[in-house]
Amino acid sequence: MNTFSFTRWYGIILKEFIQLKRDRLTFGMIIGIPVMQLLLFGFAINADPKNLPAAVLSQDNSPYARSFVRAMENSGYFRVVRQLDNEAQANELLAHGDVQFVATIPADFSRKLARGERPQLLLEADATDPSATNNAIGAMQQLAATALIRDLAGPLADQNPGPPPIDLRVHRRYNPEGITAYNIVPGLLGTILTMTMVLMTGLAMTRERERGTFENLLSTPARPFEVMTGKIVPYILIGLIQVTLIFLAARFVFGVPMKGNLLLLYSVVILFIAANLTLGITFSSVARNQLQAMQMTFFFFLPSILLSGFMFPFRGMPEWAQWLSNLLPLTHFLLLVRGIMLKGNELHELWPQIWPIVAFMLAVILIGLRFYKRTLD
């Protein structure tokens, strides 16, 4: 009898749009928050992460090579997690973000070293977040000059002083110039969506409750599902507008490249928007008034920006913080957007970041349904 009614649903959407149009403050926030964050976070915040995961592709099983790898680890910046056999493996690990660096030691490393011919050593870095890699690269340059000095003492001592015994080549992958905007833009996208989507929907229901209009809405035949989704739709559209604005700014102001599929990017964005909206609706079911909804939003928003890897490099954080940040959708969304925009990742490479967002959303919906009130009790 009382099934989904398109008329009612459309009525709710229409009402929400009209109210939004009249609510100058909210409208200001939708524009103001991106501008404010652009200003605040446009300045790169640098940190000094250590213990970054690295892989070594060593084609030269010599004491020199082993000694150099040991020196890398001793520097504190690198944690060698894998020994690789070929170039393809290296590319895969970097694309997935499993390691931050791959060091390739060529087959003629020790022979050339012994002859004083300055062998090349290739360091490939995942530079999507330059603040995470810059210091490590600096340390590596230092190592190239000094690491093998003691090994080379004796017969090869005449190499010293002079140019460094190793010719270090650094490839900053995905972001060759180490431009921080490449990281800022996806981060901004994620934080703005988190902020506005959670807050707007969080307020949407509590506002009705606070003004007493919820009682009127409840006394009409409108169904909870129609009310909830009817209230969400306008914000999905707003979210997509914000995203498009940021993408345009990324492309034409910051010159961030777009390597991947735009459709895939928008799909990921919609997933992320949906996750945040369900959280917002759940907050507004739990909160008693607008102030509480606001407080809950900030309680969620702060760890999201601090821990997601947007403000501080993910790998620079202690383990418990990394574990916590893996629960947050923003953490995964950042990796997804960087992956698509900068690395050109395909869908099959993105699953490890997609399922945590879906899981988050499901958990939140369950909580929301548990708390949604059909009556005024």
Partner 1 sequence: MTAVVAAPPDTNPDGTGGSAGQPPLVIDVHGLNKHFGDKHVVRDFSLQVRRGEIYGFLGPNGSGKTTSIRMLCGLLTPDSGSGTCLGHDVIRDTAAIKREIGYMTQRFSLWEDLTIRENLDFVARMYSMPERAATVQSALTELGLDSRQNQLAGSLSGGWKQRLALAACMLHKPKLLLLDEPTAGVDPKARREFWEELHGLAESGLSVLVSTHYMDEAERCHRLAYLAYGRLMATGTVDEVIHGQQLITYAVTGPDLSALSQRLRTTPGVGQITPFGNTIHVTGRNDAALVAALAVLGGDSRYQIERIDATLEDVFISLMNDATDNFQ
Given the rule CB under 8 A, which of 115-123, 213-221, 315-323, 336-344 is the region that contacts partner 1?
213-221
Nearer to partner 1, 10 or 323 (CB): 10
Asked if 117 interacts with partner 1 (CB under 8 A), we say no
Nearer to partner 1, 55 or 227 (CB): 227
Confirm if 212 and 376 have CB atoms less than 8 A apart.
no
For 154, half-sphere exposure in the C-beta direction (CA atoms, 13 angstrom radius) is 5
Site string for partner 1, 346-375 (x = CB under 8 A): -----------------------------x
Q: Work out which of 11, 53, 303, 344 binds partner 1, going by CB under 8 A.
A: 11
Q: How far is the CB of 15 from partner 1 (least distance, A)?
A: 5
Site string for partner 1, 182-211 (x = CB under 8 A): -----------------------------x
Write out the two tokens for 221.
Answer: 């035949």
Give me the residue label for tokens 């009682």. 215
Q: How far is the CB of 2 from partner 1 (least distance, A)?
A: 5
Asked if 221 interacts with partner 1 (CB under 8 A), we say yes
Q: Work out which of 4, 18, 116, 370 binds partner 1, going by CB under 8 A.
A: 18
Residue 139 CA from chain centroid, whole number? 25
The single-letter code of the amino acid at 265 is: L
Please, which residues have CB within 8 angstroms of residue 333's CB and are 6 or more apart in sequence? 186, 190, 193, 268, 272, 308, 353, 357
Given the rule CB under 8 A, which of 10-18, 176-184, 187-195, 236-244 is the region that contacts partner 1?
10-18
Supply the DSSP symbol for 97. T
Asked if 2 interacts with partner 1 (CB under 8 A), we say yes
Q: Work out which of 154, 162, 163, 212 binds partner 1, going by CB under 8 A.
A: 212
Write out the two tokens for 246.
Answer: 């940021």
Q: How far is the CB of 239 from partner 1 (least distance, A)?
A: 22
Write out the two tokens for 361.
Answer: 């959303």
Asked if 39 interacts with partner 1 (CB under 8 A), we say no
Give the count of residues interacting with partner 1 (CB under 8 A): 29
Give me the residue label for tokens 């003004």. 211
- DSSP labels for 294-335? HHHHHHHHHHHHHHSSSSS-GGGS-HHHHHHHTTSHHHHHHH
Write out the two tokens for 119.
Answer: 């062998």
Q: How far is the CB of 4 from partner 1 (least distance, A)?
A: 11
Nearer to partner 1, 23 or 73 (CB): 23
Question: Footprint of partner 1 on residues 223-252 (CB under 8 A)?
Answer: 223
Given the rule CB under 8 A, which of 220-228, 325-333, 342-350, 357-365 is the region that contacts partner 1?
220-228
Write out the two tokens for 100.
Answer: 């931050």
Spatial strand order in the sheet of 101-105: 78-83, 52-58, 101-105, 120-126, 167-173
Asked if 28 interacts with partner 1 (CB under 8 A), we say no
| H/E stretch holding 29 | helix 24-41
Q: How far is the CB of 349 from partner 1 (least distance, A)?
A: 46
The single-letter code of the amino acid at 101 is: F
- DSSP labels for 333-360? HHHHHHHHHHH---HHHHHHHHHHHHHH
Q: Work out which of 19, 146, 261, 289 binds partner 1, going by CB under 8 A.
A: 19
Q: How far is the CB of 296 from partner 1 (least distance, A)?
A: 24
Q: Work out which of 46, 61, 91, 213 binds partner 1, going by CB under 8 A.
A: 213
Confirm if 316 and 49 have CB atoms less than 8 A apart.
yes
Q: Applying CB under 8 A, which residues contact partner 1?
A: 1-2, 5, 7-8, 10-11, 14-15, 18-19, 22-23, 211-223, 375-377
